[in-house]
Amino acid sequence: MDFIIKLLHSLFFGVIFFIAFINYEKEKSIKPLHFIVLLLCLAVLIYLDTNYSVISNKLLFLLLIFSLSIVVLNLMKGFIHLEKNSLLKNNDYLRNNYKNVKKIFFSKIIPMMIFLYQLLIIWFPNIFEKMSQK
């Protein structure tokens, strides 16, 4: 049963990652049906966590905060403007490289790292327990 619950958690956060990844690539909003289904899945996960105590609800809350950090990251990347820098204004090649690196880093690399960290914490909860003891 532990494997199934961990798999359900992994799928849940995978779906959140996929929805966030797709929405930020295409700048669409989340459909209400997707949001309701995610909330129902979250309720089922909380129920399973309460009854089987494979993953603590404290850990589930922490993982949800990490999922929300993808949204915050998307909002914050709009505040980073180095395009007004005189070096980038005068050099088109450097400006284009900067924009491409910024897009790849904020849109792909960091969200993937967050998702991999979530999977690591789900499958090896001892890491979280050691972190919370300090």
pLDDT for 81 equals 67
What is the tens place of the pLDDT at every residue in 69-94?
877 877 777 677 666 667 667 777 87
Q: How far apart are CA 116 and CA 130, in angstroms?
A: 18
Report, as an integer, the average pLDDT of 49-74.
83
111 contacts: CB under 8 Å, gap ≥ 6:
17, 20, 21, 24, 70, 73
User: How many CB atoms sit inside 10 A of residue 134's CB?
Assistant: 4
Three-state secondary structure of 72-88: HHHHHHHHCCCCCCHHH
Spell out the domain ranges in the chain. 2-133
Amino acid type, 49 = D
Stated pTM of the model: 0.77
Q: HSE, CB side, 13 Å, CA atoms: give it for residue 46.
A: 9
- Is residue 118 predicted with pLDDT exceeding 80? yes
Residue 129 has pLDDT above 70, yes or no: yes
- 40 pLDDT band, cuts 50/70/90, is very high
Cβ 5 vs Cβ 48: under 8 Å: yes
